[in-house]
Amino acid sequence: MIQQMEDKIKNNRSVVKEQKGFTLWFTGLSGAGKSTISHILLDKFKKKNLKVELLDGDVVRTNLSKGLGFSKEDRDTNIRRIGFVANLLARNGVIAITAAISPYRAIRDEVRSMHDNFVEVYAKCSLEAAEKRDVKGLYKKARAGEIPQFTGVSDPYEEPLNPEITVETDNGTPEERAEQIIDWLTNNDYL
């Protein structure tokens, strides 16, 4: 009797497929659509009962990275912190979505090196389009000199050289870009 129960439990465990944890790392200019697309993916993954967390750059800066400025050193520290938390989540079977500008290639590569399953998503958007959709008025303030070291204006953005996924956010809707990402993740055995 006990052996039959153990066999039944063992068989049930083999039927349940364990979720693959990975980091979906968005990078791109402010206003490129990283957060918008990330929230769409978050909702879609939750509807599929997947374990998922979103580490949004603005939210992380308010909580995990409070007190950091926007110098290169502080930005790198912020990205390392996001990468560390994303890695903890991913290695425990969670989809970790990050949405932070992460403007410097070297720190993105450093974060990539700490992950087993890292998918870089480049939210490619022209500076002109990002400025047009700037609901927070950050570009206007940066151009007026009110925000020093603003990515794309007074501080560089280094485009990824070989991202796994590039979504051109100047074209199509955020929902279409989210579906493009889901298709890639499905075709490459992440989902």
Residue 102 bears catalytic tag: yes
Q: Name the nearest CA neighbour of 78 among 87, 89, 69.
A: 69
Query: What span, in angstroms and rounded, lies between the C-alpha atoms of 17 and 63?
Result: 34
Cα 85–166–148 angle (5° rounding)? 65
First-residue to last-residue Cα distance in the chain: 38
Query: What span, in angstroms and rounded, lies between the C-alpha atoms of 28 and 36?
Result: 12
Among candidate residues 14, 71, 102, 154, the one labeled active-site is 102
Q: Is the separation of the CB atoms in 127 and 29 below 8 Å?
A: yes
Which of the residues are catalytic?
Answer: 102
